[in-house]
A and B are shown apart, each in its own frame.
Chain A
Amino acid sequence: MSDDTFEPKIVGFLCNWCSYRAADLAGSARIKYASNVRIIRVMCSGRVDPNFVLQALSQGADGVMIAGCHPGECHYINQNYKTMRRFIMLKHVLRQMGLEDERLRLVWASAAEGQQLAEAVDKMVDEVRRVGPLNWRQNWQEDVDREDALQSIVKEREELMEVVA
């Protein structure tokens, strides 16, 4: 369900050594790209706990991007393989929870790849725009009026005959 005026809110976890520098580069080179990603800098993509992703999605994000160094180039040697494995685990869980694949992306970008990172951002924003807003907390709403249901219980109990001990 897409909405023409809908602007996706995407949270991006970018690693300090590669992908964040790529974003910096895109900025200083004045490359135009979608402004929908709220960037959070982490020292390594391996710092991204699965719970960060879940929190973002449950608190209003329409999508989450994790960006790290290319495999084999991680500043901390091989932590981005952990990122990869966690990402795959998360994908399976989120799919089962009914979230579209487009809402979680893992991107590898080296510090020199500013243009390419910008394109990856644009692409994700487009895809999330197409699948629509997530509005996760609406899932927690009941389709019945809870107050009314509780009041029914009170009323029903008020109608009862008093019983002596």
Chain B
Amino acid sequence: MSKRVSIDPITRLEGHGKIDIFLDDEGEVAGAYLQIPELRGFERFCVGRPVEEMPNLTSRICGVCPEAHHMAATKALDNVFHVDPPRAAKKLRELFYSIFYATDHTTHFYALGGPDFVVGPEAPAAERNILGVIAKVGMDVAGRVLKMRRDGHHLIKMIGGRPVHPNWGLPGGVSRGINEEQRAEIEQLGRDAIEFAKFSLQVFDDLVLGNTDYVGLITGGVYTHQTYNMGTVDENNHVNFYDGKIRVTDPEGAEHAKYDPVDYRDYVAERVEPWSYLKFPYLKKVGWKGFVDGKDSGVYKCTPLSRLNAADGMATPLAQAEYERFYETLGGKPVHHTLATHWARLIELLYAAERWVELATDPEITSREYRVLPTQTPTEGVGCVEAPRGTLTHHYSTDERGIVTKVNLIVGTTNNNAPICMSVKKAAQGLIHKGEVSEGLLNKVEMAFRAYDPCFGCATHSLPGRMPLVVNLRNAEGDVLQTLSQFVD
């Protein structure tokens, strides 16, 4: 009778999950399973609703990336109603989306990914959070992170109505545009965001790439899997978050497929296991061979790392330079080291900020032509975007009054369900021996999960009991007038 250890719940991520680890008689890991113990049933209870409500209904799938669902739903509405939004509307949507992306990636890196690297995977639990990061790199960082998140949510509210769960997308456009005063503020904050992204990449360089232990961790075998990679690309095969074709490359980097979102069912299918409420997508043309790596296995990943692997480059200059440096450093494409996802995420952050400024300075962005009314009878449509955690697919059918009759959703993190299970098992088997299990070791198993940024980052703060803090008050010349501190030894 094997012994069972449970990590319940898994923490510092979104949603519910538990990891059950079975030890054999020698105390080695016989098996490890990541179970998702809940379901809410959007694919069922959205049936019967007026289809124009879908952006608001589906945004409640996730409160960290509601903008992703709102946008995928809005694009699906365009297709359901067979209406093409004006060009300005599409630019507005992509601008809004870029702002959201920059904000969300910031949240993840500084609260989730960052701590495991900056403070170290073996640091005490109480330090493995944003406050530990601050203690290491300073209050200055905290201020910049706070500003980035505050700016981002401020603009999301300005454009989309609310900071969480916007109410903005419609078939044929959006409910309101922006004026020149708003545009100017958006542009300025976008330029700040570019500087912040560059700064974040510098933080990563100094603290992670400059540390040989961490480089070993990233490139080591425990957290590496050779799978297919999926992402959305534009007509130049550059990463695009808002629109394009879906491209899948194999573990060696060759293109396996490139398709329009509407054809997704020819390429992706979902399996069911009785021990998890979450389904397991896989590549149909390769087939399901189990929770295994390799070119013959239909398991695929959909993460910032995958998006970079599946594309040929980035569409903006600073991000492109980083993209090239990334692959040079790690030995070429594709990169399969899961922990490198944290770096890839920062490159995407930079691209999002550059794209933000590009769109904010587009002459059409303040156009009053942000919406046209549909004229055709609604039928069926698919809308896809890249959610920060992976390709997001919304597919609706309606009756002739536009009442939803069928819904199919493949959500970002769901794409990664199988590889995450594999990563967790591999980490458990590599780390736990002779029946010796401690909370610290279990956290290292969790790190295998966290690298995928499963949908939730707890943003700027996690709150241990005693926050070490130093504040220096300086005069105009920069001299320190007074130092205030608490809990600093």
Contacts and interface: CB of A to CB of B under 8 A. Distances in A.
Direct A–B touching, Cβ under 8 Å:
yes
Interface of A: 157, 159-161, 163-165
A152 to B, nearest CB: 12
21 contacts: A157-B6, A157-B8, A159-B4, A160-B4, A160-B5, A160-B6, A161-B3, A161-B4, A161-B5, A161-B23, A161-B437, A163-B5, A163-B437, A163-B438, A163-B439, A163-B442, A164-B437, A164-B438, A164-B439, A165-B438, A165-B439
Nearest to B436: A164
A164 B300 CA distance: 36
B329 to A, nearest CB: 37
Given A157-B8, A163-B438, 8 more contacts: A160-B5, A160-B6, A161-B23, A163-B5, A163-B437, A163-B442, A164-B437, A165-B438
A159 B6 CA distance: 10
Contacts of A157: 6, 8
A86 to B, nearest CB: 22
Interface of B: 3-6, 8, 23, 437-439, 442
A112 B442 CA distance: 81
Name A's interface SS: loop
A157 to B, nearest CB: 8
Contacts of B3: 161
B443 to A, nearest CB: 11
A44 B4 CA distance: 67
A161 B20 CA distance: 11
A163 B8 CA distance: 12
- Quick one: which of A160, A163, A164 has the most chain B CB within 10 A? A163
A44 to B, nearest CB: 34
A160 B439 CA distance: 14
A10 B5 CA distance: 57
A94 B328 CA distance: 65
Contacts of A164: 437-439
A157 B37 CA distance: 15
Nearest to A159: B4
Contacts of A161: 3-5, 23, 437
B465 to A, nearest CB: 15
Contacts of B439: 163-165
Contacts of A165: 438-439
Contacts of B5: 160-161, 163
Nearest to B440: A165
Nearest to A160: B6
A164 B438 CA distance: 5
Contacts of B8: 157
B218 to A, nearest CB: 27
Contacts of A159: 4
A110 B437 CA distance: 81
B5 to A, nearest CB: 5
B3 to A, nearest CB: 5
B440 to A, nearest CB: 8
